[in-house]
Structure 1
Amino acid sequence: MEQALLVKIGGSLKEAGDLLDEVSAYPGPLVLVHGGGPRIAEWLNRLGFETHFHQGLRITPLEQMEVVEMVLTTLGKQLAEGLSRRGRPSVALTGRDAGLLEARLLDPVLGRVGEVIRVNTEVLQKLLHVGLTPLVAPIGLDAHGPLNINADTAAGAVAGALHLPAVFLTDVVGVLRDPQDPSSRFAQLSQAQVQALIQDGTISGGMIPKVEAALNALHEGAPWATIAKGAPGILQAVLEGTAGTRVVAS
């Protein structure tokens, strides 16, 4: 059987067609985690809410949490439908389902924003066992209700709990020595090398949260994590080590 993978995909349906084609064609078991930032921002704006960020995370007051959950849940259903139509039967889930993602508040300043403290892996394993692909929206649950969780860190937590390699599909080919030169991609980096590249400024800007998500996956128990650009054949290329930047413990 092909290697099982955790794959984090973006939350934009506009670019989802080719990505869903690629994901549905993968011959092995997959657990998917999806984001939804652009769609959430669109709906909050449409409903007259202001959006504020703190250290890169969306501040989510209680009155906005319902909108966030609505958007992510609907998006998950749409993505699952797209995968199912392509021959990969999929089930859209959030942390509410069977206590999938138990979470806690991250920082009161952020409102209803959380971090995963426990993943109900049994639910995901049972779905995989019967040939279904779980598609997880990053909504956690605490004693007071749903929590908005960063999709990358949620993906890391799920990958770690299942001890699966994590693949973060994004819009860049990987970590580059020269941001203007795609051929300067690092094929593999250790945790220590990632930290050093952040310190010397090689890894900067929007790449920092991507590598931090990869490090988080390793910390949670994933054997390795790769940052790669979604493209035809990308998952097989990632497994072969010919695409993306693989981050390993040492």
Structure 2
Amino acid sequence: MNTFSTTSKTTATKPLVIKIGGAILEKESALQALLAVIAKLRNKQVVLVHGGGCVVDEMLAQAGFTTEKKHGLRVTPSEQMSIISGALAGTVNKSIVATANSMGLMAVGLSLNDGDMVSCELSLLELGFVGVPKTNNSKLLDSLLKTEFLPVISSIGALPSGELVNVNADDAAVAICQLLNAELLLLTDVNGVKGSDGEYLSSLDHEQAHSLINEGVIAGGMTAKVNAALHAAKQLRRSIAVASWQSPEQIMQLLDGQGVGTQIQPH
């Protein structure tokens, strides 16, 4: 059963969390096309969660910093945190909100710690100021969605001490999805996850995914995306879609029950 089918009453009433980032933020026309599709989803509550690695890289380079990644995840030294938070929670977030509002969507820019939505602990992977998100309080999002706002959430969180941390945007989207018991769509610049033969997979489970990761077929940022999707699929007990932002109409196809992209399975 495809969890996006609008024939299911319980599925139809679930909010939809869409994660965007990377290249889509460099193409205004692509972002506008995605927002135009969201505007058509009159009976669907939608939350956008975003990263923005390309903008972060550019701003770090301008400040004389180099970018390091481990396992597809950004290493965040303390001296870079102010630039990263300014890029994601500031520049990128407000740009998306402004574009959405110019198209008639009532968008509101947020970070993970706003309204005590998500709390964070430091990652154990020695990544510096990188947080692991944990769901906390849905009141703010519930109120915004009920009054037909479009929450746009950056992947900046905070520790219990109040220190800001960088959160992988895919993990941030999973946390928001869990907070709302929502559907989840992870958008990327490719049509899904490729197998060892170079072809896109229509479906991927835990065993297959880890085999492809160990073989190096799934690598870089896609590793983090697949791991986040596997975690979400397990926790929510339903498939999670990884699809391309270059075909915004895929969102409508998913909601109509069509299988597009790669469906990450819970088992």
**Quick check: TM above 0.5?**
yes
Pick which of 31-40 and 91-100 moved more.
91-100
- Correspondence for 2:58 among 37, 42, 45: 42
How far off its partner does 1:203 sit?
A: 4.2
For residues 24-103 of structure 1, the aligned pairs below 5 Å read: 24-26=36-38, 27=41, 28-74=44-90, 75-103=92-120
Query: Is residue 160–residue 219 contact of structure 1 (8 Å, CA) maintained in 2?
Result: no
Query: Is residue 167–residue 225 contact of structure 1 (8 Å, CA) maintained in 2?
Result: yes
Identify which of structures 1 and 2 has the higher relative contact order when contacts are C-alpha pairs closer than 8 Å and 6+ apart. 2
2:140 matched to 1:133? no
* 1:58–1:22 distance in 2 versus 1, CA, 3 Å: closer
* 1:194–1:60 distance in 2 versus 1, CA, 3 Å: closer
Query: Is residue 196–residue 212 contact of structure 2 (8 Å, CA) maintained in 1?
Result: no
Query: Is residue 174–residue 229 contact of structure 1 (8 Å, CA) maintained in 2?
Result: yes
How many angstroms apart in 2 are the aligned matches of 1:16 and 1:152? 21
Counterpart in the other structure of 1:177: 195
* 1:221–1:61 distance in 2 versus 1, CA, 3 Å: same
Query: Is residue 218–residue 225 contact of structure 1 (8 Å, CA) maintained in 2?
Result: yes
- Correspondence for 1:216 among 211, 231, 252: 231
* 1:81–1:244 distance in 2 versus 1, CA, 3 Å: same
How many angstroms apart in 2 are the aligned matches of 1:23 and 1:176? 27
How many angstroms apart in 1 are the aligned matches of 2:125 and 2:51? 22
Counterpart in the other structure of 2:3: none
2:31 matched to 1:19? yes
Letter paired with 2:35: V
How many angstroms apart in 2 are the aligned matches of 1:198 and 1:110? 20
Classify the secondary structure of the residue corresponding to 2:27.
helix
Classify the secondary structure of the residue corresponding to 1:68.
helix
Counterpart in the other structure of 2:186: 168
Query: Is residue 156–residue 214 contact of structure 1 (8 Å, CA) maintained in 2?
Result: yes
Letter paired with 2:17: L
Letter paired with 1:4: P
Aligned residues: 246
- Please, what is the CA RMSD of the aligned residues? 2.3
How far off its partner does 1:4 sit?
A: 2.6
How far off its partner does 1:155 sit?
A: 0.8
- Correspondence for 1:107 among 120, 124, 141: 124
TM-score, with normalisation over the residues of structure 2? 0.83
Q: Which runs of 5+ in 1 are unaligned?
A: none
- Correspondence for 1:124 among 134, 141, 160: 141
TM-score, with normalisation over the residues of structure 1? 0.88
For residues 150-161 of structure 1, the aligned pairs below 5 Å read: 150-161=168-179
* 1:222–1:98 distance in 2 versus 1, CA, 3 Å: farther
How many angstroms apart in 1 are the aligned matches of 2:98 and 2:229? 28
How many angstroms apart in 2 are the aligned matches of 1:198 and 1:69? 30
Classify the secondary structure of the residue corresponding to 2:126.
helix
Superposition misfits of 4+ residues, deviation over 6 angstroms? none
How many angstroms apart in 1 are the aligned matches of 2:113 and 2:195? 41
How far off its partner does 1:141 sit?
A: 0.9
Letter paired with 2:120: A
How far off its partner does 1:119 sit?
A: 3.6
* 1:166–1:77 distance in 2 versus 1, CA, 3 Å: same
How many angstroms apart in 2 are the aligned matches of 1:122 and 1:203? 41
How many angstroms apart in 1 are the aligned matches of 2:216 and 2:60? 35
- Correspondence for 2:219 among 199, 205, 210: 205
Q: Which runs of 5+ in 2 are unaligned?
A: 1-11
How far off its partner does 1:41 sit?
A: 1.0
For residues 227-242 of structure 1, the aligned pairs below 5 Å read: 227-230=242-245, 231-239=247-255, 240-242=257-259
The percent of aligned pairs where both chains have the same amino acid is 31
